[in-house]
Structures are given as C-alpha cells and as structure tokens.
Chain A
Amino acid sequence: MQRIAVVDYGMGNLRSVSKALEAVAPDHDVVVTSSASVISAADKIVCPGQGAAADCMQALAAAELVDTIKSAVGQQPFFGICMGMQVLFDSSEENSGVQCMGLVAGQVKRFAHPHLDSEGARLKVPHMGWSKVGQTAHAMWHNISNDSRFYFAHSYYCVPENTDKVAGTCHYGHEFAVAVFDKNLFACQFHPEKSSDDGLQLLANFVAWDGK
C-alpha cells in the first residue's frame, strides 16, 4: 500500500485535503503528519497551507520541516496547495517581506490596491471563487478540460521567474501563474480539495503520477 503524507505544520484545514485524497485513493494510506521521518519515507507528499506567509514559514521552521521538504522536493512526487505553493518560492511580499523556501525561483506579490481590470473597473480582493485555469501540457491535467474552473481564495499570487515551469494560468485583472511544476514537484494556488469533480480529478492524477 502506498502512503501519502499530508504535511501538518499547524496551518490550515488539513482535514479537507486528507478526506479528498481518501475519497480518490481508497487503496492508499493517507496520513496527516508533522513527523519528518514519516514525510521522508512517504511515497508521495502533499503540502497544503493557509494563513499568512510569515506564520507559515515560522510554523514550518518550528516543526523543523524546512529541510525535510527541501530534500523531499527532488525525490517523491510533491504537491503544494495554496500557501503550500507560495512558500516554495524565494520570497513573499506578505507581512512586509518574508523569506520562503526558494525551491521555485520567483516572488509572491499582492494584488494591487485598487486591483483593476483592463477597462479600469475595480476587482475585489481576496480573489474569491471559481476562475478558469488555462493549462499547459502536464500529466496532472489528465481528464480535466482546459479552462475548467477551480476554487480560489487568495490575495497574494506567485510570479515565477521561469515561465517554462508554468503549468496553469488564470486571468483576474491580469494573467498570473496558478500552477507550476519542476520535475516531481507540482503546485497550485487554487484549492483542488474544494473544486468539486475537477479538483478531485487533479488529486486523483497526483495519486497516479510517478513524478515524471
């Protein structure tokens, strides 16, 4: 039986992620854990997260999981979700600037005040609700139509340096990356565990993914 570790560093709703994984992978052992050894030994790793960037980085450091995640990325298939995507970048503008894990080159920025669309109309922040995600070819999109809608709830967005590593984009005021990949790593800004059938399909694809 394959084991999927859901990284628990005390930030956010891990129950929904683990239940959604259990729903799509009944033959897998889904374990919510803060243990470095359990995470390192798992076949696959999911890193969710919610809340402020500074708190998340602090919580990861306090749980002594930064090195665990850094060495896991590059080994097992790894899926970062929402804040679990943002902390992979070099740094975030949140909380007056936070150093993140530097596993994906780029920054995390806040939507502008005011956040305007191309016609000058003001858009609401947080970006809250269902937006279309444009895909670039990747195994994680198996059986998901291009431009399917996923559920978002965020005020900060990722700006990767390397556009070759963008797996998905969204347009809200301007276009930005909402999914990135690098070898065995995949990360998304939206919440697959809250995105109904297409979200569950994405999680199922992760369960089936060999990281290549």
Chain B
Amino acid sequence: MGLARRIIPCLDVDNGRVVKGVQFLDIIDAGDPVNVARGYNIAGADEITFLDITASSDNRDTILATVEQVAAEVFIPLTVGGGVRAVEDVRRLLNAGADKVGINTAAVTNPDLVDESSAKVGAQCIVVAIDAKSVHQEGEPPRWEIFTHGGRKPTGLDAIEWAVNMADRGAGELLLTSMDKDGTKSGFNLGLTRAISDAVEIPVIASGGVGNLQHLADGVIKGGADAVLAASIFHFGEYTIGEAKQFMADQGIEVRLT
C-alpha cells in the first residue's frame, strides 16, 4: 500500500532523564534523552515517544527543555505525552519541537480538550492515548472499558465507542494500550486492537505486552495496527530495531528498512 508500518520505541522520562536507562548500542549516558533518541534514530526507529512521568508539578517544565534538546538534534518524529491537560500544554510541547502530543486522562475528564486542540493545531498533531481493559465475563462477547490512573480507575466508557468518539472529535491517531497485557510480555491484546482499528479511520498504534518479535508482527497482521510501540524489548537490547523490521519484512509487512 506504499506506507510502512512504524516501529516506535517508548521512553519514560522523569525530570529530564530517561528512566531505567537504555542498554543498547554504545551509549555513554543511557539516561540522557538526546543520546537515547540519537541512538534510536541511528538504529532505524520510525518515531520516538516520550512519556513524561515527572510527578512533581514544580518540575513539569523539565519536559519542555528535554523536547527542545532532542528536537534540535534528532530529526525523526517525536511524540510526547504525560500530564497534558490544556490546549496551552499542547502548544508549548509543539513549540518546543514535539510533532505530536499525547492526551490521556484529560481526554476522559475533559473530552472538549481534544476538539479544541485539534482545531488549534491540526488533527495530525493530536494522539489520544486509550487505556483499555477487558470487562466481559466468561462466555460473553468481548467488551473493553476505558480505565484511567494506570488501569486502576474504571470510567464506564466502552473502549470502541470511546475510540470512535475521540476520532470524531479530532484525534489524528490513537495510542491503544491494553492494561491486561501491559508488562506481561505475552503479546498485544489482538482482539481489542483489531476491534478498535476496524472501528476508526485514523491510524492506531498498538501498545502493551510485547515480549518478542512475533508479537510485533501479530499486532500488524492480526491486530491491524498501523504502528507498534514497545519499550523493554528494545531498551534492554533483547532485539534491535533492525532485527524487528527484518522479522516483520520476512512476514510480508511493509517496513522502512534503513
């Protein structure tokens, strides 16, 4: 179809430092976001996502400095999420050099933020992050609900209806995380990914659960994801981005080989 499926490494950033480090390549300071982003660019990542987990509101602006530094030196798309609550937050991140801004909890508490941000900066800059969890009982048809606060707080919102709602309001892309799968290394929730991807016209990034390269390929082939996001399998050097792309290419998936 002419468009490569993307592989996106995701980095947690706390107070301007990459948390837990990244153990691959010959990075001297594995906590430095610029070094890590540069390393992933050389490795062939199609995009980089930073998730700002800075807890203290006093230090919220550290992410802006981080984004400025990375965007001045690494020339691939950069998505930044975490703590985005107002259109002003979106604008400040974009002005610092982010290409896309992820909106998560605030999309649930204030859905108009998605409309307002999208109208202001364009849908292509707005990524709505959706955290969904299975809520169906044994024997029932599958159903997923939106959760916030790291999967602890149910919202009563049906995940598919919510995804359609977010797309209608002006999201340019959805970052879909299965809270059942996140951290399990047992693969994406393919049923959820497929259901959401089929329900919306906008691209869907699958996230949560990647433990090996087959999981990435399955996310595209079975889940219908337009992009796949992973953290630990890349950060700890289990696989390189190049190996992941070659594996996907061998299964007939169009990727950008560098």
Chain A residues close to B by CB (< 8 Å): 12-13, 15-16, 19-20, 23, 50-52, 113-115, 117, 121-132, 149, 151-155, 170-173, 191, 193-196, 199-200
CB contacts (< 8 Å) of A121 on chain B: these are 1
> A196 and B3: CB pair below 8 A?
no
CB contacts (< 8 Å) of B3 on chain A: these are 123, 127, 129-131, 152, 172
Q: Which residue of B lies closest to A118 (CB)?
A: B1
> B97 and A16: CB pair below 8 A?
yes
List the 10 shortest-distance A-B pairs measured between CB atoms, nearest first: A153-B124, A171-B2, A51-B122, A19-B72, A130-B256, A124-B203, A130-B4, A149-B256, A172-B2, A194-B77
* Contact among A13, A113, A124, A151 for B76, CB-based, below 8 A: A151
Taken residue by residue from 64 to 102, chain B's Cβ proximity to chain A (1 for < 8 Å, 0 otherwise) reads as 000010011101110000000000000000111111000
What are 15 inter-chain pairs, A to B, with CB distance below 8 A? A15-B68, A15-B71, A15-B96, A123-B3, A124-B203, A124-B204, A126-B202, A129-B203, A130-B6, A130-B256, A151-B77, A155-B123, A194-B76, A195-B76, A196-B76
CB contacts (< 8 Å) of A154 on chain B: these are 124
Is B56 close to A, CB under 8 A?
no
A196-B71 contact, Cβ under 8 Å, with A15-B95, A172-B3: no
CB contacts (< 8 Å) of A200 on chain B: these are 75
Is B187 close to A, CB under 8 A?
no
CB contacts (< 8 Å) of B41 on chain A: these are 196
* Contact among B46, B94, B119 for A13, CB-based, below 8 A: B94
Within 8 A of A (CB), among B6-46: 6, 41, 46
CB contacts (< 8 Å) of A23 on chain B: these are 73, 75
CB contacts (< 8 Å) of A12 on chain B: these are 94
How far in angstroms is the closest Cβ of chain B from A86? 12
CB contacts (< 8 Å) of B172 on chain A: these are 126, 128, 153
CA distance A16 to B74 in the complex (A): 9
> B99 and A16: CB pair below 8 A?
yes
CA distance A153 to B202 in the complex (A): 11
For the complex, count residues of B whose C-beta is within 8 A of A: 38
How far in angstroms is the closest Cβ of chain B from A84? 13
Is B227 close to A, CB under 8 A?
yes
How far in angstroms is the closest Cβ of chain A from B224? 10
Q: Which residue of A lies closest to B2 (CB)?
A: A171
Q: Which residue of B lies closest to A56 (CB)?
A: B122
How far in angstroms is the closest Cβ of chain A from B241? 12
CA distance A117 to B254 in the complex (A): 15
* Contact among A113, A125, A132 for B202, CB-based, below 8 A: A125
CA distance A132 to B2 in the complex (A): 7
Using A16-B99, A129-B203 as known contacts, list a sample of 19 further A-B pairs with CB atoms less than 8 Å apart, ordered by residue number in A.
Answer: A12-B94, A13-B98, A16-B71, A16-B97, A50-B122, A52-B122, A114-B201, A115-B201, A123-B3, A124-B201, A125-B201, A129-B5, A130-B3, A130-B4, A130-B46, A130-B256, A153-B99, A155-B123, A199-B75
CB contacts (< 8 Å) of B4 on chain A: these are 129-131, 149
Q: Which residue of A lies closest to B125 (CB)?
A: A50
CA distance A191 to B226 in the complex (A): 19
Is B258 close to A, CB under 8 A?
yes
CB contacts (< 8 Å) of A193 on chain B: these are 75
CB contacts (< 8 Å) of A123 on chain B: these are 1, 3
Within 8 A of A (CB), among B123-139: 123-125
Taken residue by residue from 208 to 231, chain B's Cβ proximity to chain A (1 for < 8 Å, 0 otherwise) reads as 000000000000000000110000
CB contacts (< 8 Å) of B204 on chain A: these are 124
How far in angstroms is the closest Cβ of chain A from B201? 6
A20-B124 contact, Cβ under 8 Å, with A128-B203, A129-B6, A130-B3: no
> B75 and A194: CB pair below 8 A?
yes
Of the listed residues A52, A114, A196, the one surrounded by the most CB atoms of chain B closer than 10 A to its CB is A196
Is B121 close to A, CB under 8 A?
yes
How far in angstroms is the closest Cβ of chain A from B172? 5
